[in-house]
Amino acid sequence: MTADLETKLDRLTRLVGTDEGFYILALHAFVEYFLRYEKRYGEGPTFPELTWAFREELLHDYGEGFIEGLHCLAHLGSQHILTNKVRHAFERMDPEEAAAATHLFVSFCKLAGIDTYNQVHLLRRSLEVWRQSAWMSYAGSATG
Question: What's the pLDDT tens digit per position in 93-113?
Answer: 999 999 999 999 999 999 999
What pTM value is reported for the model?
0.89
DSSP assignment of the chain, as one string? --HHHHHHHHHHHHTTTS-HHHHHHHHHHHHHHIIIIIS---SSS-HHHHHHHHHHHHHHHHTTS--TTTHHHHHHHHHHHHHHHHHHH-----HHHHHHHHHHHHHHHHHHT-TTSHHHHHHHHTHHHHHHHHHHHHHHHHH-
pLDDT for the residue numbered 133: 74
**C-alpha–C-alpha distance, residues 113 and 141, integer Å:** 40
pLDDT for the residue numbered 142: 60
Per the model's pLDDT, the better-predicted residue between 127 and 50 turns out to be: 50
Question: What's the pLDDT tens digit per position in 37-72?
Answer: 999 999 999 999 999 999 999 999 998 789 999 999
Give residue limits of the domains in the chain.
3-137
CA-based end-to-end distance of the chain: 47
pLDDT for the residue numbered 60: 95
